[in-house]
Structure 1
Amino acid sequence: MSTPADLPSAAVLLRDQLLQRLQVLSPSTLNLIDESHLHIGHAGAEGGARHFRLQIVSNQFHGHSTLARHRLVYDCVRDLMPYPVHALAIEASTPPSEGLS
């Protein structure tokens, strides 16, 4: 997993911007992984566009289908796509119910 120290400064700023925007979903878990290094040479990576993987857990996803959950995420970052964010792989879930194992 890449860390901010491993990324160019513009990539760190973009990562921070994404994390800040996603706070509107009140996540209990929020992991944003820059996978751009896996897409070097890919047409979508030209010009510095980045690829991210998002793992997000939020109560706001309760009662929503996977597609609806993804739409909630995309609504937060839509203006950043397709540049500077070329791709965003999303794993969106709800917190486990208390008392269930």
Structure 2
Amino acid sequence: MKKLIITVCILAFAAAAVQAQNKITNVRGFWVVEHNINLPRVQTIKFYNDNNKLIYEETVYSKLNIKKKKTRLALDQVLDRLNERTAYVESKNLVMLSLNLRH
């Protein structure tokens, strides 16, 4: 009887672990922030799609702290908006507007 209970418990834990790993993330591209050590207040944000193709690029003249959740969330939202469009975006202020930065 003990072996049966232990076996059932092991199978239950294994089933729970399998379902936890089946999460499907909806990753639709990525963004990269580039900066120069000599010019720390000038940063370039590049947005890429799933095929590693550049879809948007913007230069920002203020220091972005990408460790902040608010900054990462704003960049992710810009990426989502860019992924909804199929052509290259001509507007040059998407990041500055989403983060309320001054030029």
Asked if these proteins are the same fold (TM beyond 0.5), I'd say no
Larger relative contact order (C-alpha < 8 A, sep ≥ 6)?
1
Pair member with larger Rg:
2
Q: From the two aligned structures, give the one with the greater helix fraction.
A: 1
Question: Normalised by the size of structure 2, how large is the TM-score?
Answer: 0.31
